[in-house]
Amino acid sequence: MGKRIVVTGVGIISPIGNTASESWENAVAGRSGVRRMTIVDPEEFSSQIAGEVKDFDPLDYFDRKLAKRTDRYTQFSMIASREAYGDSGLEGNISPERLGVIIGSGIGGITTLEKEHKVALERGVRRISPFFCPMMISNIAAGRVGIDIGAKGLNFATVTACASSGHAIAIATDMIRLGRADAILAGGSEAPMTLTGVGGFCALKALSTRNDDPETASRPFDRDRDGFVIAEGGAVVMLEKLEYALKRGAHIYAEVIGSGMTCDAFHITAPSDGAEGSARAMKLAMEDAGIEPEQVDYINAHGTSTVLNDINETIAIKTALGEEKARRSMVSSTKSVTGHMLGAAGAVEAIFTSLALEKGIVPPTATLMNPDEGCDLDYVPGRAREAELTYALSNSLGFGGHNVTIALKKYTGK
């Protein structure tokens, strides 16, 4: 269990960029990717805004046959995985049997599900596509990535709503520590912009209705927040043993030093009283990493822009770090510009946290103007901040009471 695990490749396709570097640049600049919805007609919805991937044509990445036989969420996972794999330089430097894939998704192929359900109703069940099941299921992104990359090691999906890709990274770290693989592509993808995808969250009254001001609609920790902004995309990291990375002179973004995973066991959508579950995940991550609360410089918060999450996550951070230390640590939510990418959110935010450690820049909570009562930490409002960072946490919380925290460290060559 003493193996050191590092991030050597990153891949993102998101509302703020179709590559990791473009997404990071816009996150740091505080440029929002939220616009009026275009993938589905927004007129029927109370929330008519979304974080959509821009200028996306599957044929720019796949041949026509493969594009037709893969759901949008699977395409995002493959694009992000290709970028992370290429970035890592591992191709030709690892046995395929020792390369794994863990790709999470909260929903899976809902676009395909809706399309084929419509076919069944309008044209009869005999007209359902034979590709329906293998396009729709939530594990197929991991399977497709394995085929695409040629990774023959462990391969599965994590499905824990908005904690899905956080869990993928946490479990991948443990799998490498245990010797189950030498390297793993880990992350998540989501493409929820459909009638039932958007309509369901509208019915929950979970989404922002600030339709006249989409770019500032996602307002984590702000007194005027009114719900999260639904978003799509994919994000994947390459995790591997430090010794492998050093042997070939790979670029190392950060070191993954621990994780904490808990369940609220309380309510399907609301956090537990006093945010006990998420606080405990942070404590477990620090314990696994062998660090003390005093050492945590930065937390990339789940920070959804919902009334319940933001105040409760603030309470959880104070509980985990101690109130005095919590006030001295920087906390930010990059969902202020990406919107909430659901099953892909944890991986996007772990990448942003890794880059923050490497570059000494904390991305801002770009839209925070008036902190709510009780939301009284340093949320890095408005603008990015240069800072010397050594240790950071990245939080992901999901419906069902799922909590996961990833602990990361700046890689210094020691």
pLDDT value for 324? 97
Which of 247, 280, 301 represents a domain boundary (last residue)? 247
- Tell me the catalytic residues: 162, 302, 340
207-264 per-position pLDDT tens digit: 999 999 999 999 999 999 999 999 999 999 999 999 999 999 999 999 999 999 999 9
What does the block give as tokens for 375? 């939301």
Residue found by looking up tokens 């060559």 in the block: 413
- The pLDDT tens digits for 292-347 are 999 999 999 999 999 999 999 999 999 999 999 999 999 999 999 999 999 999 99
For 359-376, how does the pLDDT look when each residue is reduced to its tens digit (9 = 90+)?
Answer: 999 999 999 999 999 999
The whole-number pLDDT of residue 377 equals 98
The pLDDT confidence band at residue 2, using thresholds 50, 70 and 90, is: low
- pLDDT band of residue 392 (cuts 50, 70, 90) is very high
Given a cut of 60, whether residue 1 has pLDDT beyond it is: no
- Domain endpoint, select from 218, 247, 276: 247
Query: Based on the domain organization, do 215 and 357 belong to the same domain?
Result: no
Q: Which of 199, 218, 247 is the last residue of a domain?
A: 247
Provide the CB-side half-sphere exposure for 286 (13 A, CA): 20
Whether the per-residue pLDDT at 192 is higher than 80: the answer is: yes
Q: Which of 288, 203, 400 is nearest to 2 (CA)?
A: 288
**Domain coverage including residue 336:** 258-409
CA 138 – CA 143 distance, rounded (Å): 10
Residues 228 and 95 occupy one common structural domain? yes
pLDDT digits (tens, 9 = 90+) for 63-106: 999 999 999 999 999 999 999 999 999 999 999 999 999 999 99
305 and 229, same structural domain?
no
Give the model confidence (pLDDT) of 136-181 as tens digits. 999 999 999 999 999 999 999 999 999 999 999 999 999 999 999 9
pLDDT at 41 over 70: yes
CB 408 within 8 A of CB 392: yes
Pair 325, 207 in one domain: no
Domain count, the chain: 2
CA atoms of 336 and 304, how far apart (whole Å)? 8
341 inside domain: yes
pLDDT band (50, 70, 90) for residue 352: very high
- Indicate whether 253 belongs to any domain: no
